[in-house]
Amino acid sequence: MNVRLNHREANPKVYEAMLQQEKTILQLGIDRTIYEIIKIRASQINGCSFCIDRHSKDFLASGQEVARLIHIPIWRESSLFTEKEKAVLELTEEVTKISQGGLPEEVYIRVRKQFNEEEFITLILAINTINAWNRIGISTGMFPNCY
């Protein structure tokens, strides 16, 4: 396997812009566990092996149990996630696949029961950011441990 190009070197300004988005999301106070769950689930849907690997390691390094990591794709059937985390997982799936039907009203309502307007917009930014990273990673041919 070969990386097609190093996106950091090819356009450092884009890389810095992406890093700034990450900093902004963290400054907005997103819960780090929720943020890692978003990153893992979106990366699974998009098939970004680099991001799945990286964020799974970050999730486990933060003290999360392996079982929770394994259960992310089957969160609906799992008792290992809070209602808040399940709302985030559902939102992540719907926004990542938004071209397939938009964001259903019932999903929006479930998420808004757990998060206020400001938090909702932060979640949308977080989901969009990992989707952008996934698209960069996949398009440039990144794979686990390529850097």
Average pLDDT, the chain: 97
From residue 9, how far is each of 33, 44, 77, 125 by CA, in Å? 30, 26, 43, 25
Longest dimension (CA), the chain: 45
Number of independent structural domains in the chain: 1
The pLDDT assigned to 1 comes to 78
In a domain, 146, yes or no: no
In a domain, 3, yes or no: no
Find all residues with CB under 8 Å of 97, minimum gap 6, and list them.
Answer: 45
**DSSP per position, 116-146:** -HHHHHHHHHHHHHHHHHHHHHHHTT--TT-
In a domain, 129, yes or no: yes
Q: Which domain holds residue 126?
A: 11-139
In a domain, 66, yes or no: yes
The alpha carbon of 94 is separated from its chain's Cα centroid by a whole number of angstroms, namely 12
pLDDT tens, 67-124?
A: 999 999 999 999 999 999 999 999 999 999 999 999 999 999 999 999 999 999 999 9
CA dihedral for 89, 91, 92, 94, sign (positive or negative): positive
Residue 5 banded pLDDT, cuts 50, 70, 90: very high
The pLDDT assigned to 56 comes to 98
The pLDDT assigned to 147 comes to 83
The alpha carbon of 122 is separated from its chain's Cα centroid by a whole number of angstroms, namely 12
Instruction: For 4, list phi and psi in degrees, rounded to 5.
Output: -65, -45
Q: Answer whether residue 138 shows pLDDT above 90.
A: yes
In a domain, 2, yes or no: no
Output the domain CATH number for residue 20: 1.20.1290.10
Helix (H) or strand (E) holding 111: helix 105-114
- Rounded to whole angstroms, how far apart are CA atoms 38 and 75? 12
Vertex 70: Cα angle to 118 and 98 (nearest 5): 45
The pLDDT assigned to 61 comes to 98
In percent, how much of the chain has pLDDT > 70? 100
In a domain, 50, yes or no: yes
In a domain, 5, yes or no: no
In a domain, 86, yes or no: yes
The pLDDT assigned to 83 comes to 98
The alpha carbon of 134 is separated from its chain's Cα centroid by a whole number of angstroms, namely 9
